[in-house]
Amino acid sequence: MTALRVAALAIAACIAAMSPARAQDATTLKKDMVGQWELSTTERSKTCVVTLKGDAAGHGFKLELEPACRTALPFTKDIVAWSVKGLDIVRLQDATGEAVIDFTEVEAGIFEGLRQGEGVYILQDLAAARSMAKSMDQMIGDWAMVRGNGQPVCGLTLTNTEAGPDNFQVFLKPKCDPAIAQFNPTQWRLERGQIILMSKAGETWQFEADDNAQWRRVPDTADPLIMLRQ
């Protein structure tokens, strides 16, 4: 699983990971699933809210889909109930009990499901998903790269323009340090609490938030590279 499969996905994974791990038995899973969830594409370009209930309904349990679901994710028009199959499969099902989509837990509180011919979808706790969206929004905009001594070496802009699965476009500003200009990142994403910059050649630079509310390239060096929000 790539990181922003939670839509992409990184901050939400960190938040969800703070929750106790679920015991993998059907009874516990049924209890833990009751509540509000976000159903989305991997990069979260299309989302809808699903409320799973504990009341019996035909071949499973009741659920509610927000009205916008049918437009955002057309396959949801067939979903009328949910159930747990086996030990760890969360099924969103049609009126006959057949699967519209099956999900399995890939990280604490994050479930992944595949629809043939369409792709992968994510089901995750609604509060965690919204926290991720807020964190992503805070990343969008202009940044400065500086050395450890505070000397500016480059400016760049992180955007929310999709650039392939889980990734978004990034643009360097003119007059960057030669090493950064040579790296020339064109895409970025959030992954497990890190800002990942990626070049066309597939090279990656990772930045982690430090105690001073700035992002330092890792692994750290004697001459660190730091990203500062502008």
Which is higher by pLDDT, 151 or 15?
Answer: 151
Mean pLDDT of 155-184: 90
Mean pLDDT of 199-207: 92
Residue 36 burial by Cβ neighbours in a 10 Å radius (0-12, 13-18, 19+)? middle
Compute the chain's Rg from CA coordinates: 20
Closest to 26 in 3D by CA, of 50, 49, 60, 58: 60
Angstrom distances, CA of residue 105 to CA of 35, 78, 118, 210: 16, 22, 20, 30
The pLDDT, as a whole number, for residue 10 is 43
The answer to whether residue 225 scores a pLDDT higher than 80 is yes
Confidence grade of residue 37 (pLDDT, cut at 50, 70, 90): very high
The pLDDT, as a whole number, for residue 99 is 95
The answer to whether residue 15 scores a pLDDT higher than 50 is no
The pLDDT, as a whole number, for residue 104 is 94
Handedness of CA 104, 135, 202, 147 (dihedral sign): negative
Location of structure tokens 């703070």:
18
The answer to whether residue 193 scores a pLDDT higher than 90 is no
Confidence grade of residue 183 (pLDDT, cut at 50, 70, 90): very high
Mean pLDDT of the chain: 84
The pLDDT, as a whole number, for residue 28 is 87
Q: What is the DSSP string of 120-169?
A: EEEEEEHHHHHHHHHHHHHH-EEEEEEETTS-EEEEEEEEEEE-STT-EE
The model's pLDDT over 111-160, given as tens digits with 9 standing for 90+, comes to 999 999 999 999 998 887 777 666 677 788 999 999 988 899 999 999 98
The model's pLDDT over 46-92, given as tens digits with 9 standing for 90+, comes to 889 999 999 998 789 999 999 989 999 999 999 999 999 988 899 99
Mean pLDDT of 159-184: 90
The answer, yes or no, to whether the previous bond of 178 is cis (omega within 30 of 0) is: no
Contact 56, 46 (CB under 8 A): no
What share of the chain has pLDDT > 70, as a percent? 85
